[in-house]
Amino acid sequence: MIREILIWPDPLLKQEAKPVAAVDDDLRALLDDMAETMYAADGVGLAAPQVGELKRCLVIDTSPRQEGQKLLHFVNPEIVRTEGVTHYTEGCLSIPGEAEEVERAAKVWVRALGYDGKPFELECEGLLAIAVQHETDHLSGTLFVDHLSALKRELIRKRMKKLKAEKAAERADDVKKAPRHESAL
């Protein structure tokens, strides 16, 4: 099921996600929904808080832009080591239409539980390393704009508030245009 992606500055995006107690069918259903939502939005990663779930889990698939990759599920991810520095122009599904250069570690090692609930550790480079850092930030209530200057962040915040107002107005218009159903009571 495709879920609605929250748009910043939604306050839920600034909250810290809670650790997941167990990888069960309900969590796998959430992970499946997140992957479907990410693909529908043409993204490479999505964290649970972005769809309104304060759970420490995320999905990443950099295969469209990075050869040899596939859909990955991370439950309770923890970056255990970093190496080097790189700069990458990042965007975010919760901040549509915006992209800015962010400094990140060039290489990361992440430890997590997988879709099957089994622990794994993964060494990440390139876009995968960027995506792991970006999505893991979401679990702590941090967005890529938090890595920018206050001026840039405020300009983007104003554009996002305008976008949210426009979307709300469109939804209100859709409701007004919907046919009325008379009750037989």
Residues assigned a catalytic role? 135
Q: How far apart are CA 154 and CA 167, in angstroms?
A: 20
Q: What is the DSSP string of 35-61?
A: HHHHHHTT-SEEEGGGGT--BSEEEE-
* Cα(30)–Cα(48) distance, integer angstroms: 8
